Chain A
C-alpha cells in the first residue's frame, strides 16, 4: 500500500525559507517510472501544482514559481524534500505530497493528508 506523509513547520515568517518533507511508504523513487509531486491549495481556493521529481532525477517546476522552488530526493531515507524561498502571506496553504507514475500522464493517484502552512509575522 502506497502512502505519503508531509511534515514541516506550521508557521513561517515572511521572507523565510519553507522546507517540507514527504516520507514515502510502499514504494521507492528507485522504481522506474515513479514520481512525486507537490501541490498546494490556499484556503477556499483551487489547487496549484508546484513541482515534480521522477525516479531518474528529472525535475519539473511551476514556471511561475521556479525561481523559488527546489525539489530533491533522498533515496536512503525514502523522502522527497521541497524548499520554497522568500515566503509571503499569499503562500499560506495546505501543501500536498503526491504519487504519480509516467504512464498516468501527470495525474496524481495517491495524495498525502496535506500539511497546513501559515505565513505570518
Chain B
C-alpha cells in the first residue's frame, strides 16, 4: 500500500475537465512543496508533467495544472483529449530525516 493515496481510476468525456487527487500526510504533501506528477503510457517510461506542486516543464500542455490543499495534492486535466488516456502518478518527498521520495499507487485515466 502506497503512502500516497490516489483513486484507481478516473474517467471523463472529451472536452471535460477531470481531477486526480493524491492524499498524503503532514510528513510530506501538507508541509513541503515537493509534489510532482507523471504521465505514463503502457510500455513507456513516465513523463514529468508537474513539479513543485504547480510548475509545468517546458513543452507540457497548459491543459495540465497542479494544486495543493492541506495534505491533498491534485492534478487537473482540462479539455480532456483522447491522448490523455494514460496512467498518472503523484510523488512527494518526506521529512523526518529519511527524505524518501514516495509515489502514489497510480490512477488510470479513461477518455470515454
Contacts and interface: CB of A to CB of B under 8 A. Distances in A.
Interface residues on A, range: 20 to 34
B36 A46 contact: no
A106 B45 contact: no
Contacts of B45: 96, 111-114
Interface string A110-121: 011110000000
Given A105-B52, A107-B52, A47 B38 contact: yes
Q: Which of A46, A49, A105: most chain B CB closer than 10 A?
A: A105
> Is the contact region of chain A dominated by helix, strand, or loop, or is it mixed?
loop
B36 A105 contact: yes
A104 B34 CA distance: 8
A48 interface: yes
Contact of B48 (A52, A62, A108): A108
Interface string B70-108: 000000000000000000010101000011111111100
Contacts of A106: 34, 36, 91, 93, 101
B106 A46 contact: yes
Nearest to A62: B100
A46 B98 contact: no
B63 interface: no
B101 A46 contact: no
A49 B101 contact: yes
Interface in A48-90: 48-49, 52, 60, 62-63
Contacts of A111: 45-47
A29 B91 CA distance: 23
Contact of A104 (B51, B99, B103): B51
B59 to A, nearest CB: 10
B11 interface: no
A107 B36 contact: yes
Interface of B: 2, 32-34, 36, 38, 45-48, 51-52, 57, 89, 91, 93, 98-106
Given A37-B101, A113-B45, 13 more contacts: A46-B2, A46-B105, A47-B38, A49-B101, A49-B102, A60-B99, A96-B45, A105-B51, A106-B93, A106-B101, A109-B57, A111-B45, A114-B45
